[in-house]
Structure 1
Amino acid sequence: MPGQRRTRAAVAVWAGVFLAATTFVVVAASSDARPDLNFQQEGHWVYNVTEQAAFHVNGGTKQVDARTGKVELTGAVAMGQGDRQLSAVGSGKAVVFGKSDLAVAATVATPGGDVPVSLEVPGGPYYVYKQAGTVVRFAQLPPVTMRAGGTVGEPAPLADGTIWFQRVDNGTLCRVKRDAGDVLCPVDTDGRQGNVVATGDQVVFVDPSAGTVTPFGEQGAGQTANLGVRVAKDARTATVAVAQRLPMVDPGDNRLILAGLDGLGGERPGSAPITVGLGEGDFAAPVTATDAVAVLDRTGRRVLTFTPTGKQKATTPLPEGAGQPRMTRGQDGRVYVDAQDGAHTVVVDHDGSVTTVGIGKRDVPSPDTPKTPQPPVNPPPVAPHGKPQAPSSGKGAKDPAKTPPKAPGAPGAVQAQPGNATVKLSWEEASANGAAITEYRISWRSTAGGGTDGAMSVGGNQLRADVPGLRNGATYVFTIIAVNSVGTGPGADSPPVTPSSEVPGAPGAPTAIAGEDGTVKLTWAPADGQGHLITGYTVTAHGADGSTTAAGTSTEPSLTTAAGVLTLGTAYTFTATATNELGLSSADSPSSGAVSPYSPAAAVGGPSATVADSTVTLTWTTPELNGGDLAGYLVEADGLTPQTVTGTTATFNGLSNGTKYSFTVRAQTRQRGTTGATVDGAPATAEATPGRAPMVDVTGASSSGDRQITLTVNVSDYSSGAVTCHVVFNGAERWTGGCASGSSITVGGLEYATTYDIYVTGENSFGRGPTGSRGSARTNDPPPPPPPPPSVSVSKGGRYSSSSCTDPSCAYVVISARNFAANTSYSVSCVSTVDGTYWTYSARTNGSGAFDSSVCFFGYRGRQVWAVVGGVESNHLTW
């Protein structure tokens, strides 16, 4: 690629000073319980200068629900949040908080100079210092800094976390990928200056003064397309497109331009640009929400919001405050307009509705403010599918305050096509403001050429009208006003238009064929230009409900409506008008036949599966049919014969137990009111494994030890997985464990001499099965008790007197032996503490294993004597 440039910057090492102080977070709740914090990229953080703290604005509830402790920052403060960290960047310093507890994790130095652009994208947040050409990513600590090598333009973020911008000095287009450590500039624009815009999953380069748009990527630029409009070089362009429209503010005449981007690729011309006057003011670059455009009037201090088709949604004044407000796009698809001092923010929701949120007053208590206990509040009841139900309005309940209806808003994008003594008008629907629009009043005034003023009205569901009887050559301006039961809304003017007799002939009646994607394909015979070049055709859809819808424009006598333009399931006829190079339009063609646009049905609810033996039964709920008529449901699984059913259940038999099957259910629909071919809807899947509970038979049981029985089993598992056996003895479960056919199971701890009735039930993932064949067995009798152990005792017997023992205490020692073997002789020893074993003799037991013997004598007072018989020692007797 000529002129390709690459810039690489080393990752800077940031000096982080970790703070020991702890900050607190208070969550708005109705009790003292403090729930765990789980912040995501929903919502927006704002630094309040007065409170010296950051506050979290919930974009969904439009309330402040959290805050940090006090941290001092100077200058204009930009904030951004990532997956794990929250950062507040002031002049020369940034404070990083943990997302889980909002405690300060670090403070780091930051580049000086201009206030950075904060981008919340995956892998971010990023802060882009345009003048310094520096990008800082705060996804982790330390932050990563990258330099582009020169001043850069406004950055455009992609959904994957890549950001693109243009270097102002040489025009190259540069990018930073998610988690990258440098800036690469792979695309050369040959020095052209413009704007980088994200649209869908790609980026484009817009040259406002040339009125062109060019897609580009890593490999360079693609095919340049015409935007259909040229604006000043200093036009202020949004960095993110919306609904294939590129919003731009032309400061020369204060107009919002919504240029079409659907012509990229060259397959068909892009949609004509829509222009909306903004009035007096100094208007910043537009910022897009998910399905809306927001424009900030810096001098008038107001926010204007529009639909992607140019219909004005709201005009909201900003609260009073010092300094310039700052408008950013949040990662949640909303737009936030912050006061410079952080005292308030204005939330522009996905659809362009606007809410002002005050910050730093009583929305969240400060960390040192004691909490006042509140009575617990019951959560709202939950309806099926998890959606909260509206609270009951029974006795004692108060219905929420209802916003009273108001007069309608102004219609949007009024267009006028001149014809022969006629003008065709079309406009965007006005906001009903709580009361249905009953009519549109049309008036016209002649601004030149001597035409006559007039008025008429059409129904509230009509968005086009033909005004006949006008003067050719006269110039007219038409005003459209919406009316509801409350009153009339503001008017919207058309551009000046001049009818002429040099109009083309009407095209032929269109042929309409409904596609399977919500589109309708139309073809018609070309119009006779009557000597002038036909430059295009305009097609109008006429609904059976009386509505009119602009179906699209084409330079050829054919058109396929874009998906989403028509209401699915509504019957439409179509007419076409031709326009020549003079800007004059023909009469309407004859109407086409009626067709009803439809698209494949959404996924069915569920499905859920019920399993049985070799069987799976699926049930589901009817899906959104997206305008088609339900023909039935297609139910499929690999290796099985598909089924087509008309109800919301299907049963598959003859399946293999223990095998997992994956089923897919699709609704089949066809164009409403026809019997044509069907189209398959979105798939919904369910997995199921058929099977059944097992059965276990007892094949044998017998006593196998002291108070234990061993049984054998036969297990019928039906190929349905592992089995757990529950063994029951006389009605009480005595053993549980894995088992298989032929398993031996031993159960102990039973009662002696008891007969047990035995059965076994098996259990697997399908449940517990029935009782099989039973068995029985008797435990062993109790064994005889063991004999008592041999014992010996000594006692003092009768007086003994002899010349060898003269002390008065001399007496026989009586030795008694019990529980010895019967009729057996044993050695008997007499032992004392005086002489040790002083006598040994033999004694014989009787038939009871006992004897009493008085052979030994003893005569030492206070001393001990004892006996040993056959090794068994007696008691020690103190004499």
Structure 2
Amino acid sequence: MLKRSRPFALVTVLVVGALVAALTGAATPLPAGQFALSGHWVFNSVLQVVFHIDGATTNIDAHADVNGEPGSQVVQSDTHGYVVGPSVITRFDKATLTTLESISPPANELPVFIEVVGGPYLVYRNAGKVVRLSDPPTIVTIGGAVGTPIVTTDGTMWLHRQDVGQICTIAKNADRIGGCAVSVPPGHPGAMTIVDDKPAFVDMFAGTLHVIDGGKLGAGVPIGVPLSPSARPATTEVGGKIAILDPQKQTLILADTKNPPEKALTVALPVGDYDGPMSTGDVVVLVDRQSGNVLTYTPDGARKDTKPIKQKGGTPRLARGEDNRVYVEDADGTQVVVVARDGAVRDVSTAERPAPPDTKADRPNAGGSSDIQVQAPVPPRQTTTNTPRPPTTTPPPVPAGRPGVPLSVTASAGNGSATVNWGAAPDNRADITAYQVTWRASTGQTGAMTVGAGARRATVNGLTNGVSYVITVAATNRIGTGAGASAAAVTPRAPVSPADAPTNARANFDENDRPTRDVTVTWGQPALNGGTLVHYQVTATGLGTRQVTGTSTTYSQVQATSVITFTIRAITRTSDGQLTGAPATAVHRDNQAPPPGGGTPRIQISQGTASSTDNCHRPNCFWVNTRLTGFQPNTTYRLTLRSRANTGGVVTESARTNASGTLQYNELNYDVPGQTVWVTTQGPNGQVKSNEITWRAG
């Protein structure tokens, strides 16, 4: 449960405002769902004041002193507001404008704010936790990192878990997860949105839109445009289309939701660093954090309006109110840009504390669920002359704060590693001293590293291939460490290459069957090296080629005296096409005839003289003396040095037997004391393995 701290002292009391609230019943919340919360609260971290903006008129109709951290934002319920910062959440009463108590958040990251009936909610995506700001607050643990959530009209929250390929739900007013019944492709980057009042999943990897109906994932509707893994859709549709921001390609995509869909529109954006998109229902809203501009677009891709944010420093923040308006704040809460549902854009300054009103009962319900407003009688104006103006006060200097969120965090997977890139975080008036890079695996393991203030790239090594990781970057200055930004989950994988040769290939038959016999060729599945097995290709001397899905095939009526070489290769599929693997061979011959190599194929190895190469270091590096006997004469064989630590092979090299089928090869070397090593190759009747030796230290 969240930790509560000692209640704050009363900071400000508007006596007449409280009286009006009591007389009109504003302090008593109306039943949930009767009214959509109107307007928006913003926190000015310089003045330590919260302001309420009437979304319809863009007037400031209430304010109160509330302590909070730089970078805090406000989310509201029907009766209370919550100033949410990186390390503290402060609750205040909207009717009396009194500060109540503070609570500690469950994770050190910037949450997603959602104002809906049953909420409000704070969704900590990396930590996989949802806080419902009820009384008392409730934490719901999801079990892993989640994407940006959506909430449907029945109050159900839908969350995508990319690591396990599940979509989970939380019912309205629930204190626990309701289940994860909807399955999506695991590891596929994707995001949730709402289409025709139904939840839908956008699969970035496949480029498809899937509406969820009856608890099942519907058929995919093609977006029609390739999407980057970092692409982000708006959580609600706009004019029957899904707005998708692709920051990597600097484009806004407006995709049709019908099936079959019309051609998607692609809008080229000015060069910038974009946040969003958000939809009012009629327009799409973006923020260019680089230029400080708020941009709006219509469903047909036309630019509707542009409004600059005056304060260029820091990271502007978007919020979608329950009144379907979009509110864009500057980093310190000194300016708010209000985007109406129809796309009209108006600017509101919250940089100064409003002067005391002439009457003490002139504010409405401060963003509560009632639309009732009460205006106290205004006394007759008294005529005065030469009335001096109040002195102009200079705002206090803006204090330094913890850094803002690093920009444009992206990650790419490698072989047992991942590389993360980011843009500079706003320093918030105190030089950045370092960046903290942390990661969390889908299996629960975590890690962290610190890099310098000038770094914009870091490589995380030692990761497990096939496991999904979410990497987060946060900046540190002398004030502390700011909120982190996470890249889309990545899954390290070994480089995709052709499959190894099938193992233990043999031609099996009954020697007594004459003059013809059935020959069954068998083998074992090889290492696929990152590909997906399609089938095996089996070629027999004089009998052609066949495709086999299992690990055996039978040839009937084979002449007992014939010599047939069977060559088996694994055919694998990758994202770039099909690959043909290394060959394994099995031979059918009459056992009454001696093998061409003059005996049973054998390999004998021993630790040789001292050696040193780029990958083998003194004093423990020695040659591996390798001798082959009984093999096919004048034939090239691939010799693989293996160890207990690397059974897939330390190194593979090729050498050729002489006319008697023997070979002495001393060009393999090794340098790990205590390890067991051996050499393998593919012989005439399957894989041949040497004796094993334990490597001695120098």
**TM-score band (shorter)?**
0.3 to 0.5
Q: Which structure ranks higher in relative contact order (CA pairs < 8 Å, sequence separation ≥ 6)?
A: 2
Structure showing greater Rg: 1
TM (normalized to structure 2)? Answer: 0.47
